[in-house]
A and B are shown apart, each in its own frame.
Chain A
Amino acid sequence: MEHGHDHHPSGIMRWVTTTNHKDIGSLYLWFSLCMFFFAGTLALGIRLELFQPGMQFMQPQTFNQLTTLHGLIMVFGAIMPAFVGFANWQIPLMIGAPDMALPRLNNWSFWLLPVAATLLVTSFFVPGGPIAGGWTLYPPLYMQNGISGDMTIFAVHILGMSSILGSINIIVTIMNMRAPGMTYMKMPLFVWTWFITAYLLIAVMPVLAGAVTMMLTDRHFDTHFFDASGGGDPVMFQHIFWFFGHPEVYIMILPAFGIVSSIIPTFARKPLFGYTSMVYATASIAILSMVVWAHHMYTVGMPVTAQLYFMYATMLIAVPTGVKVFNWLATMWQGAMTFETPMLFSIGFVALFTLGGFTGIVLAMVPVDVQLQDSYYVVAHFHYVLVSGSLFTLFAGAYYWLPKWTGHMYDEKLGKLHFWLSMIGFNLTFFPQHFLGLAGMPRRIPDYALQFADFNRMSSIGAFIFGTTQLIFVYVVIKCIRGGAPAGDKPWEGADTLEWTVPSPAPYHTFETPPVVK
């Protein structure tokens, strides 16, 4: 314990030069919180314009820019970095390692992010404004973007690089730095899900980088990869994009599964049900996710055999996903549950993610999907998976580990208020969108026919409730950092992973002598 004194710079240079996994984890989390509020504000702009029929607040082009940047920044700036932040903080703590295996690379992975974010945010101020063709970047429409088209491509390159470097670090850390006695099948499920996610990232981020690079050369160097008049094919971009894009969905949900699998056993005071099958289900979901991409493209006009194949493969994903839900239920079953904020968000996740899974099965069926493709039903579906899926577990995880990170208990009352208002606001926003899609409202339109007016108004009201509710979270976090009841090493009665064996707040250096896992 003589190593207690730290030699790290103070002030801003501490954060710029840091190689400490906890510092870098915090940087990732603060960065993603900022991006979350930025992209969330864009979403409120969307819902403001959609509050009633007619164009009130903006030009259609501006509306398209808002939907595009909302999607891009939420995916790449908010959700993904937030999970990497959790990985940085928790993986070394959960496997009993002193730090990440490649600390300098870790610093570089993070500091690439603000560069990419700057490119995206400043594209609002260049001639023509930011890109407007949707976060899916489909050509030929993408070619009509101005300079922001190139800025976005570079931003995607940089984000991809950051993700790949981060993933390498996570894999190397998990493979080499586990405490003695911690075999693979003893790793906490959060570590397992990130282990698999990191492989997915390394497999698909280069594919996206390739696709946007081809677009860049199409724009400037006279290639015609995606231009039919030069012998190319715009649909090829969609195939390449979704080969990245579908695993990307699981990149954003697998670590969420890991977080929930840590929290539910803790608050049910009962071991996780079916640990082994959870690991296998995660791996099968990851593998299946790479062979179902064209279910995003049922209306491009594929041969009937291709449509059938992608339909069967997609429906198959329901099996391992179902296994996970049943395992969480069986973990809760006959437990002695208490309902602190992390548990509330986790239960909210299980309930609403299941709903997103149900609509996923509806959408997997080609004939039904042909009707619903590019309608508001799809918007509802993926927000159930990504907001009440990924985002809710990020909140759950934050409340769960805040006592460990800050040494203080958060304000339980405000946490619960945050949960319930989020629950109401979220469902009010997105549940009616199922009906809009069924009735025939296309997505990405700035104005709509009169029969869609009531559900849209409801949705907009819900969005403003949900959006402003998130300020409670910021307040709770800041309050928790500044003070509160001391957390103690293990604030949660049912917790049993290694991070709860170190003091709270977790010291700057932990596990300098590895613990022994029996």
Chain B
Amino acid sequence: MMSSLIKKIGGGLVMAMISLFAHAEHQINFPAPVTEIGRQVYDLHIITMWIIVGIAVVVYGAMFWSLLKHRKSVGYKPATFSHSTALEIIWTTIPFIILIAMAYPATKSVIAMKDTSNADMTVKVTGYQWKWEYDYQQDGFKFMSVLSTPRDQIEGKEAKGADYLLEVDNPMVVPVNKKVRVLLTANDVIHAWWMPEFGVKQDAIPGFIRDTWFKVEKPGTYRGQCAELCGKDHGFMPIVVVAKEQADYDKWVAEQKAKAAAAADTGKDRSKEELVAAGEKIYAANCAGCHQPHGEGMPPVFPALAGSKIVNGPAAGQIDIVMNGKPGTAMPAFAKQMSDGDVAAVITFTRNSWGNKAGDVVQASEIKASRK
């Protein structure tokens, strides 16, 4: 009804914007914070905006008054004054005082944000092109977190889901009401870990460790994104944090520990079919971004794997590149990122797909041996 009314009036842009603001789904402020720091940031922004509104009323008020009254077309005779020391002192000192008033609460928040001491737990987060690794070092497990939105949704072949581009396969999980210290670094280029609801953003810099912290007050699923341009798929490396009650969190930790133990067991060989099936998924999550879903690559930057000399050559050569990367190119070293089983599966998959005829099978034990 609202929209038909506007159409009748004539679809003025101003009205269209007002109707948009009236809609609850069009968020025009920060998302509702769920941490103490987030709340401080939220409040600071609101206070600042009100001060700005006050100044704006004075400045634009004077301006429009002048534009309306002091025009030649209404016969106004120009004054000749060109300075006023009193006025100039006033409009230098008043802004100065306002700024000091704004700096005071801001300073308090900065100090609180930087205080990472006395944390209840620590998680090391590493940015990779283009995924995040969450390492729960105290509990002895880690995992990769990759965008889980299907390619077909991105390419418009399938309807987009509610959490389009803001969903991952393995979210970070934290307990509520615990101070979580996050250690940030990166493997390749600079990334930034941004969680709007927490009021947290921290760059992840290769070769350096930075830290930040948060204490979530409400169980729930929170979504953010990498905020520092990190190459081709910068827009496709979201961050999802699930905050759980302590008991649920403990259960989750136990599950992760069991999974990690299973993955470390490289004793038994798998069949070619098992390896290819497992490898296909790993390929889609880790490799297809550059080498493309069907191994066609994007030459010259990202070489094709279909028909590639390395993929069709001896397995040792391919294992070397996957494990150690190729310096000077975007090909990263996967030795630290992936388990032996996953590397074995993805290599077997590529050697038996898209017309590649190597035909052989690479087992986790061979990858383990290559780590020496």
B104 to chain A, nearest CB (A): 11
* Pairwise interchain contact A133-B231, C-beta atoms closer than 8 A: yes
Q: Residues of B contacting A140 with CB < 8 Å?
A: 188-190, 206
Contact check, A311 vs B236: say whether CB atoms are below 8 A apart: no
Q: Within the assembled complex, what's the spacing in Å between the Cα atoms of A368 and B76?
A: 45
Residues of A within 8 A of B203 (CB): 299-301
Residue in A closest to B55 when the chains form the complex, CB atoms: A358
Contact indicator B207/A323 (Cβ below 8 Å): no
Residues of A near B59 (CB, < 8 A) are 325, 329, 354
Cross-chain contact B41 with A447 (CB below 8 angstroms): no
A270 near B: Cβ within 8 Å?
yes
Contact between B99 and A450, CB atoms less than 8 A apart: no
Contact (Cβ within 8 A) B201 A370: yes
Q: How far is the CA of A438 from the CA of B33 in the complex (A)?
A: 12
Name A449's contact: one of B166, B211, B230 (CB within 8 Å): B166
User: Please, which residues of chain A bring their CB within 8 A of the CB of B294?
Assistant: none
**Which residues on A sit within 8 Å (CB–CB) of B226?**
442
A365 at interface (Cβ–Cβ under 8 A)? yes
Kindly state whether residue A448 has any CB partner on chain B within 8 Å.
yes
**Which residues of chain B from 65 to 86 have any CB-CB distance to chain A below 8 Å in the complex?**
66-67, 70-73, 76-84
A336 contacts B83, C-beta separation under 8 Å? no
- Is the beta-carbon distance between A271 and B82 smaller than 8 angstroms? yes
CB pair A337–B70 under 8 Å, yes or no, is yes
What is the total number of residues of chain A having a CB less than 8 Å from a CB of chain B? 95
Which positions 361-396 of chain A face chain B at CB distance < 8 Å? 361-362, 365-368, 370-371, 373-375
Contact of A141 among B28, B95, B190 (CB under 8 A): B190
Known A128-B300, A316-B99; contact A332-B63, beta-carbon cutoff 8 A: yes
Q: What residue in chain A is nearest B233 (Cβ atoms)?
A: A60
Q: How far does the Cβ of B114 sit from chain A's closest Cβ, in whole Å?
A: 4
Contact partners of A234 in chain B: CB under 8 A: 190, 205-207
Q: Which residue on chain B has the smallest CB distance to residue A232?
A: B207
Please, which residues of chain A bring their CB within 8 A of the CB of B26?
Answer: 435, 454-455
Bound complex: CA A276 to CA B85 (Å): 11
Cβ–Cβ contact B194 & A442, under 8 A: yes
Closest to B69 in A: A334
A10 within 8 A of B: no
Q: Do residues B205 and A301 form an inter-chain contact, with CB atoms below 8 A?
A: yes
Residues of B within 8 A of A446 (CB): 235
The answer to whether A323 touches B77, judged by C-beta atoms less than 8 angstroms apart, is no
Whether B171 sits at the interface, judged by CB under 8 Å, is: no
| B300–A127 CB distance below 8 A | yes
Q: Which residues of A contact B206 (CB under 8 A)?
A: 140, 228, 234
Q: Are A277 and B88 in contact (CB under 8 A)?
A: yes
Stretch at the interface among B156-164, B278-286, B313-321: B156-164
A333 interface residue per 8 A CB criterion = yes
The reply on B229 being an interface residue by CB < 8 A is yes
Residue of B nearest to A440 (CB): B196
Question: In the assembled complex, which residues on chain A have CB atoms less than 8 Å from the CB atom of B48?
Answer: 361-362, 365, 368
Q: Which residues of B contact A206 (CB under 8 A)?
A: none
Minimal beta-carbon separation of A347 from chain B (angstroms) = 7
Q: Are B228 and A374 closer than 8 Å at their CB atoms?
A: yes
Which residues in B have their C-beta under 8 angstroms from that of A447? 154, 165, 235-236
User: Does A428 interact with chain B (Cβ within 8 Å)?
Assistant: yes
Contacts A140-B189, A447-B235, A447-B236 given; indicate if A368 touches B45 (C-beta within 8 A): yes
The answer, yes or no, to whether A144 is at the interface (CB within 8 Å) is yes
Do B232 and A64 touch (CB < 8 A)? yes
Q: Which residues of B contact A458 (CB under 8 A)?
A: 20
> Across the interface, which residues of A come within 8 angstroms of B236, CB to CB?
60, 447
Q: Which of B105-113, B262-270, B348-356 contacts A (4 or more CB under 8 A)?
A: B105-113
* CB <8 Å contact, A53 and B160: yes
Question: B229: which A residues are within 8 A, CB to CB?
Answer: 64, 133-134, 138, 141, 374, 443-444
Contact partner, A56, options B55, B156, B224, Cβ 8 Å: B156
- Residues of A near B190 (CB, < 8 A) are 138, 140-141, 234
Cα distance, A333 to B188, chains bound together (Å): 57
Known: A54-B160, A229-B207, A336-B76. 13 other contacts (CB 8 A): A56-B156, A61-B232, A140-B189, A299-B203, A315-B102, A323-B92, A332-B66, A335-B76, A347-B63, A365-B103, A375-B227, A435-B27, A442-B235
Could you pull out 20 A-B pairs where Cβ atoms are within 8 angstroms?
A53-B164, A53-B165, A59-B232, A64-B234, A273-B83, A300-B205, A322-B91, A333-B66, A334-B70, A337-B76, A368-B48, A370-B200, A371-B41, A374-B192, A374-B201, A440-B196, A442-B225, A446-B235, A449-B165, A455-B26
Q: Which residues of A contact B (CB under 8 A)?
A: 53-56, 59-61, 64, 127-128, 132-134, 138, 140-141, 144, 146, 227-229, 233-235, 268-277, 299-301, 304, 307-308, 311-312, 315-316, 318-319, 322-323, 325-326, 329-330, 332-339, 347, 350-351, 354, 358, 361-362, 365-368, 370-371, 373-375, 424, 428, 435, 438-440, 442-451, 454-455, 458
Closest 7 CB pairs of A and B: A228-B207, A445-B235, A301-B210, A334-B79, A367-B109, A440-B196, A336-B72
